[in-house]
């Protein structure tokens, strides 16, 4: 099967050809674990998960290695630990678990490997030392900066060339006074509040960009097949990853770059200042994970996705229909993979969804009966089943009374049957009468 992907680096669709079909490598920038992840983060994760599933389908599960990192050292994490008087690991382990649990609720597979930044400090120091040695980086007042003027291809991913940056007078990390060029970016910073590691260039902590370069090299190699992430990371994060990795290793960092577009809230961007940030953790309390996942896949990954309650309701209704088809066996089991091979066109694939394709997309993972019963506890299910049985019994008694001509008894039994239906409706339960008896589902 020939998979085509839009490569952000070349700005065109290309046939994906891995370096080694027996070891297809893929890296995705994971979370900085100091707080809850939002639905925009979820879109990037779900897009990467679909790509991971597609690659596994084509090349075999055992032949795809997917790394998604955990950034567990960051100024916000250090500040948060100090403010609350706790260890850094107390914060990072808590939110890393929440992140993984939230994505599991959306049917995202765990990556093959999940490296942590703090486990790869040695690799970061090694890369930085090589960059200093080869004159791509320089020390300044306890910091180490990458000198973008020494890398001729800087800007090849994003189009933000050095000349363009100079005209815009972009201010990077750290004080401009410490830099040779305003666009130079920090590789190493002095320790903060006692948090740091010993290095040849001074005790300190890593800059953000160097972390992913080190973790990608350690888990996947110096050149990887696919690097993916949100379009917001294209510059400066991914641009800087390319610069430092390729200068340190003398090799292409990634053959294919896959970026998903933004998720916006109606006509507005999602932002804390607007108060419209939707957390995965909160959404999964009100909606099934598959509903959220389907909503995230409604638009092509390279198109803007407008997030609304209507989108969620539409996705719930569509899944209800698909699960009815699954239960009845009326939807084709045959896999039509053509749209997914064309740059992961989920929008078209969903319009031609088969059961097997649903599996590849991470949808229709439940038994239909479990789907319609929703998140119901054993005690609740027993109560509902008892009420449904009582209603069926009352209906049967009403029918028997009608046959015997006992209108009073018939009316009383039908009345009780209707009362039970209304009681269940108030509980959010919909009854469906069929030839084989009555079934129920969550509204």
User: Does some domain include residue 118?
Assistant: yes
User: Does some domain include residue 52?
Assistant: yes
User: Does some domain include residue 280?
Assistant: no
pLDDT in the model for residue 174: 47
Tokens for 43, please give them: 């879109």
pLDDT in the model for residue 302: 98
Q: Can you say whether the dihedral through the CA atoms of 297, 300, 328, 108 is positive or negative?
A: negative
- Answer yes or no: is pLDDT of 218 > 80: yes
Question: Using 50, 70 and 90 to split pLDDT, how confident is the model at 176?
Answer: low
Instruction: List the one residue out of 363, 371, 279 whose CA is nearest residue 107.
Output: 363
Same domain, 134 and 167: yes
pLDDT in the model for residue 265: 87
How big is the chain by its Cα radius of gyration, in Å? 27
DSSP class of residue 33? T
pLDDT average, residue stretch 157-168: 76
pLDDT average, residue stretch 228-235: 96
Same domain, 111 and 18: yes
Same domain, 223 and 125: yes
Same domain, 101 and 244: yes
pLDDT in the model for residue 248: 98
Same domain, 12 and 76: yes
The CATH number that applies at residue 217 is: 3.40.50.620
Same domain, 60 and 97: yes
Q: Where are the beta strands (DSSP E) in 147-253?
A: 185-190, 204-206, 224-230
- Answer yes or no: is pLDDT of 266 > 50: yes
**How distant is the alpha carbon of residue 65 from its chain centre?**
17
* Half-sphere exposure at residue 133, Cβ-oriented, CA atoms within 13 angstroms: 9
Judge contact between 190 and 202, C-beta under 8 A.
yes
Tokens for 90, please give them: 């107390």
Same domain, 61 and 195: yes
Choose the final residue of a domain: 329, 355, 372: 372
User: Does some domain include residue 282?
Assistant: no
Choose the final residue of a domain: 327, 355, 372: 372
What total number of domains does the chain contain?
3
Q: How far apart are CA 338 and CA 365, in angstroms?
A: 21
pLDDT in the model for residue 390: 87
What pLDDT, in 10s, does the model give residues 308-365?
A: 999 999 999 999 999 988 888 877 767 779 999 999 999 999 988 888 889 889 999 9
User: Does some domain include residue 270?
Assistant: no
pLDDT in the model for residue 307: 95
Same domain, 421 and 349: no
Residue with tokens 């932002």: 271
Judge contact between 349 and 341, C-beta under 8 A.
no
Same domain, 42 and 101: yes
**Three-state SS at 145:** strand
pLDDT in the model for residue 227: 98
* Half-sphere exposure at residue 397, Cβ-oriented, CA atoms within 13 angstroms: 16
Counting beta carbons within 10 angstroms of the beta carbon of residue 327, is it exposed (0 to 12), middle (13 to 18) or buried (19 or more)? middle
User: Does some domain include residue 273?
Assistant: no
Choose the final residue of a domain: 331, 348, 372: 372
Same domain, 312 and 256: no
Residue with tokens 């972390």: 211
Count of residues making up the chain: 443
User: Does some domain include residue 144?
Assistant: yes
Q: How far apart are CA 142 and CA 283, in angstroms?
A: 44
Same domain, 25 and 116: yes
Q: How does the average pLDDT of the chain come out, rounded?
A: 92
Spell out the residues 6+ positions from residue 137 whose beta carbon is closer than 8 angstroms to its own.
128, 131, 144, 145, 146, 147, 187, 244
Most distant pair of Cα atoms in the chain: their distance: 100
Question: Using 50, 70 and 90 to split pLDDT, how confident is the model at 210?
Answer: very high
pLDDT in the model for residue 167: 55
How open is the CA angle 23-28-29, to the nearest 5 degrees? 145
Q: Is residue 206 within a helix (H) or strand (E), and if so which, with residue range? A: strand 204-206
The parent domain of residue 438 ranges over 376-442
User: Does some domain include residue 274?
Assistant: no
Same domain, 364 and 382: no
């Amino acid at each position: 099967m020939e998979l085509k992907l839009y490569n952000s680096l070349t700005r065109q669709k290309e046939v994906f050809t891995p370096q080694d079909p027996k070891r297809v490598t893929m890296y995705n920038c994971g979370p900085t674990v100091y707080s809850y992840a939002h639905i925009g983060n979820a879109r990037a994760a779900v897009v990467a998960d679909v790509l991971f599933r597609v690659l596994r389908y084509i090349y075999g599960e055992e032949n795809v290695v997917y790394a998604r990192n955990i950034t567990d050292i960051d100024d916000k994490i250090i500040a948060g630990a100090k403010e609350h008087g706790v260890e850094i690991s107390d914060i990072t382990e808590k939110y890393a678990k929440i992140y993984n649990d939230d994505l599991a609720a959306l049917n995202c597979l765990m990556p093959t490997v999940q490296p942590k930044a703090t486990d790869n400090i040695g690799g970061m120091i090694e890369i930085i030392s090589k960059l200093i040695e080869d004159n791509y980086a320089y020390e300044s007042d306890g910091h180490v900066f990458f000198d973008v003027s020494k890398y001729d291809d800087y800007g090849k991913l994003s189009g933000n060339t050095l000349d363009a940056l100079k005209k815009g007078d972009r201010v990077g990390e750290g004080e401009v006074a410490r830099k040779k060029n305003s666009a130079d970016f920090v590789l190493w910073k002095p320790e903060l509040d006692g948090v740091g590691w010993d290095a040849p260039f001074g005790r300190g902590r890593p800059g953000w960009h160097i972390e992913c370069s080190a973790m990608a090299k350690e888990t996947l190699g110096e050149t990887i097949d696919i690097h993916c992430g949100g379009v917001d990371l294209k510059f400066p994060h991914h641009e800087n990853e390319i610069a430092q990795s390729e200068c340190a290793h003398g090799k292409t960092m990634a053959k294919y770059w896959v970026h998903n577009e933004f998720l916006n809230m109606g006509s507005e961007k999602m932002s804390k200042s607007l108060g419209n940030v939707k957390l995965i953790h909160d959404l999964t309390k009100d909606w099934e994970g598959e509903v959220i996942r389907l909503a995230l896949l409604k638009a092509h990954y390279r198109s803007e996705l407008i997030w609304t309650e209507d989108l969620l309701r539409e996705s719930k209704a569509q899944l209800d229909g698909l699960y009815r088809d699954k239960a009845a066996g009326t939807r084709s089991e045959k896999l039509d993979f053509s749209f997914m091979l064309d740059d992961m066109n989920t929008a078209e694939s969903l319009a031609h969804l088969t059961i097997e394709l649903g599996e590849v997309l991470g949808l229709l993972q439940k038994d239909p009966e479990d789907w319609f019963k929703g998140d119901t506890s054993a005690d609740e299910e027993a109560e509902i089943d008892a009420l449904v049985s009582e209603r069926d019994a009352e209906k049967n008694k009403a029918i028997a009374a009608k046959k015997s001509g006992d209108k009073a008894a018939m009316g009383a039994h039908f009345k009780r049957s209707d009362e039970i239906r209304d009681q269940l409706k108030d509980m959010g339960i919909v009854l469906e009468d069929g030839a084989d008896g009555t079934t129920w589902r969550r509204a």
